Amino acid sequence: MKSTIPDTGVPITPPSLNGGDRQEASLHGEILLRLRDYVVEGNIPEGGRVPERQLCEILGISRTPLREALKVLAAEGLIELLPNRGARVRQLSQRDLEELFDVMAGLESLAGRLACEAITDAEITAIEQLHYEMYGRYLHRDMHGYFQANQRIHESIVAAARNETLKAAYANFAGRIRRIRYSANFARKRQRWAEAMREHEAILDALRRRAASELSDILFQHLRNKRAAAIEHLTEPREDAPVSS
């Protein structure tokens, strides 16, 4: 899987002494973004320890900002902080995945229904642009860019629902399955990536028509299909693992 963190260290430029809070916030955001991508894209195995020293060298930062970013990822559910033992990538069981994806399916289904009642033409246009960006990434087999555009589409539909309680619940659960949602696109038997693209065509069509019930059903099934692919990918043998006869 492609990582946004290069193999050779490219230090993040620290804020100047008189840069102020805005530069510090920008630095923190960049560290968080790159670290989140690194975890989501599978560069550390499920249940694996987070290599703090190595990441500090790659990012060109000290452990203090790294650990601040790790606290955010722990709050999102991507990693677990171990008392006096660093951090490790959260490992989800098949039952965990089934329950989390079912909750996400319900939240996205509701968001789609509410969005059709409140979404503006400008918001639909913005989602269309994201869709075509995502399709271009798909054609170029750019999984990183595809996934970023994909997540922004789902987040835009949730935002268009105009329901802050729903938005907060969605953000909480989305963080916990972001990593497996990314890796599910690599499920070999289902050819999930192509399947997901076709589903997004249907999502966009229903959204344009503001077909609330239809979009709700499509989004629910979209998450159910993602759940099946995620479980398949979780249980399929690794390419580098020995295959039993």
What residue type is 43 in one-letter code? Answer: N
CA dist., res. 1 & res. 143, Å (int): 8
Of 190, 193, 194, 203, nearest in space to 236 by CA: 190
* More confident call, 228 vs 234: 228
| Residue 236: predicted pLDDT | 73
Task: Tell me if residue 89 falls in helix, strand or coil.
Answer: strand
CA dist., res. 134 & res. 151, Å (int): 10
**How confident is the model over 160-204, as pLDDT tens digits?**
999 999 999 999 899 889 998 998 888 776 688 899 999 999 999
CA dist., res. 76 & res. 237, Å (int): 28
Confidence of residue 95 (pLDDT cuts 50, 70, 90): very high
- Tokens standing for 150? 């994909």
118 close to 232: Cβ distance less than 8 angstroms: no
What residue type is 56 in one-letter code? Answer: C
Of 189, 196, 188, nearest in space to 221 by CA: 196
| Residue 5: predicted pLDDT | 37
| Residue 238: predicted pLDDT | 59
CA dist., res. 128 & res. 66, Å (int): 36
Say whether pLDDT at 14 is over 50: no
User: Is the model's pTM score more than 0.75?
Assistant: yes
